[in-house]
Structure 1
């Protein structure tokens, strides 16, 4: 079995594998997955050597966490999230999609970043996951892009209450590391200026299509000892032959950029998805790259892409073509 390299989250002692399993898909993201297929996917990931899995109450309104609780070995590093609480509802008709998840569990989500909201979310997650502790707890989807005019309210609620709840849980040993799970870096700077955190799970912002964190954000993380989990390395599938860019139809300039990226990769005999999966890990603050998987076949594909040899000349050509920031660290060859 291939052994994925491990790195420590901040200075917490919590370690994550270089390739992580994003469990939104087994919460029926966009399409239903049977219990049996979800269990087989998790088993395939563990068998492949993937020992870090991320989930959240949002994923299938508790379905992803519940499925992991039924199948996940205790020795796998696990992150989940808080900031939404789930309340029971009448089960919707079969085939109902809510918040992007089809046939989720019969709960509705509500934002709550207060002390009591974080505690309730955490306690409910423990029940679904059948665990006594969670390795990493992330405040989920803070930020102006998510909350708009309610941003300041939710941020202050978190800083004055929810953050203390996470710190207390960590002090009690019920959490190993705390941080944020977000899609934007501005909120990370706001929180880091007010509090000590260990990790940021940053989705879609450090990829072959986007390298804005090189403008100083990653340097600020390094200075504060904050690790980065780079999620969504394919930008919602665009870098892996998908049709979506950040959950929407791609603009023309992104389509053109992907065509050019593919051409450079093809010239070196490398799938674009392999380059996309391996690229983020070259930065020293990035400890894991996290991607969603909904079948054993996807686990096998992603594991192979992670190990695919990439010659140094490919990265040099991407920079020469203006397709990759000159400031971006690039991967060294991985041992197969």
Structure 2
């Protein structure tokens, strides 16, 4: 098995360098359909064998399942990859018969409790280390805070928890060296701007808002990250599947206008003999604030498919043609200039 050589990019002003392709741990935990434990572990091992050095997980994923499975592989890895997990949800034991499983198939027997307080974040960090079986993680993200998850009314007291104590906990963990970087892991860029008003952050894991299909995060968020020297990990590069031939966008059936736009983008890709998923996967890295793209394959075979798209050489003219046809937002960085 041949290890690949990936470009690495530095996270903010830390000493962490991550490969530009990473491995997300949500799908491995069995969202919407089951993933056998051995298959999940094999996928993580295959990613590390291929040279990927950044993996991400969270307590929410499979309600503890993802952290357990990923820890099984990362513990024995040499060199150990950069690993991130998340805070903001604590897990509470529950009778499986009364459990709210959400979209998880065969999760562990826990319910989740939102807690962004100082004590909640400290406890969440320690609990994650125990589930992972690791003495440290490198990056902690505040998970799914914001109105997209909680609604305006419910989010206000949770945000106050973060502002009045949770952020201080994260700073203490970073300043003590317990973690090397802190950030948010969310699906909306607006809450990241709110976070930047609280203080300094190293990296934001933003899903779905800077993709080949959607560049709503470009201004003011991504330009602010450049000015504040914060990095961005792009999650959900396929926008819930619509950019790999699926019918989902933002976890729901794609509306007609989105389908029409995808078809227009795909037509440009076909004119350059480039598969749409390859362009979707590689597009986010055209922005200088982006350090990593984080897809979530469910098996070694799916990962091999992603790597095949990753290897496709994309001519600069494809990006400029998309810009010329109004299929990229004005100001989107493309090789040689801006859209």
TM-score, normalization by structure 2: 0.94
2:88 paired residue number = 83
Q: Aligned partners of 1:137 and 1:304: how far apart in 2?
A: 30
2:229 paired with 1:229: no
1:301 counterpart = 2:305: yes
Question: Where do 1:246-257 residues align within 5 Å?
Answer: 246-257=250-261
RMSD: 1.4
* Structure 2 residues without counterparts, runs of 5 or longer: none
1:129 equivalenced with 2:155 (yes/no): no
Return the offset for 1:331. Answer: 5.2
For residues 29-178 of structure 1, what are the structure 2 equivalents within 5 Å?
A: 29-72=31-74, 73=77, 75-92=80-97, 98-148=101-151, 149-178=153-182
Q: How far does residue 128 in structure 1 lie from its aligned partner after superposition?
A: 0.9
User: Structure 1, residues 288-307: CA drift from partner, whole Å, max 9, x if none?
Assistant: 01111110011111111112
Q: Match of 2:188, SS?
A: coil
Contact 1:97/1:103, CA 8 A, preserved across alignment: no
Q: Tell me the equivalent position of 2:17.
A: 15
How far the C-alpha of 1:330 sits from its partner, in A, is 2.4
Describe the SS at the equivalent of 1:110. strand
Q: Is the 8 A contact 2:100 2:111 kept in 1?
A: no
Q: What is the DSSP-based 3-state SS (H/G/I as helix, E as strand, rest coil) of the residue aligned with 2:253?
A: coil
- 1:103, distance to aligned residue in structure 2 (A): 0.5
How far off its partner does 1:221 sit? 1.0
Distance 1:285 1:298 in 2: 27
CA distance in 2, matches of 1:222, 1:236: 27
Secondary structure at the aligned position of 1:228 is classed as strand
Q: Distance in 2 between matches of 1:162 and 1:234?
A: 31
Q: Which stretch of structure 1 is more off in the superposition, 166-175 or 106-115?
A: 166-175
Number of aligned residue pairs: give it.
330
Give me the whole-angstrom Cα distance separating, in 2, the residues matched to 1:229 and 1:39: 23
Task: Give the Å deviation of 1:97.
Answer: 7.4
Deviation (angstroms), 1:14: 1.4
> Aligned partners of 2:188 and 2:169: how far apart in 1?
23
Displaced runs of 4 or more, over 4 A: none
Shift of 1:285: 0.4
Report the TM-score when normalising by structure 1.
Answer: 0.95
| Structure 2 Cα separation of the partners of residues 17 and 83 of structure 1 | 26
Conserved in 2, the CA contact under 8 Å of 1:278 and 1:331?
Answer: no
Q: 1:196 & 1:90 partners in 2: Cα distance?
A: 40
Task: Give secondary structure in 1 for the equivalent of 2:261.
Answer: helix
- Aligned partner (choices 271, 278, 285) of residue 274 of structure 1: 278
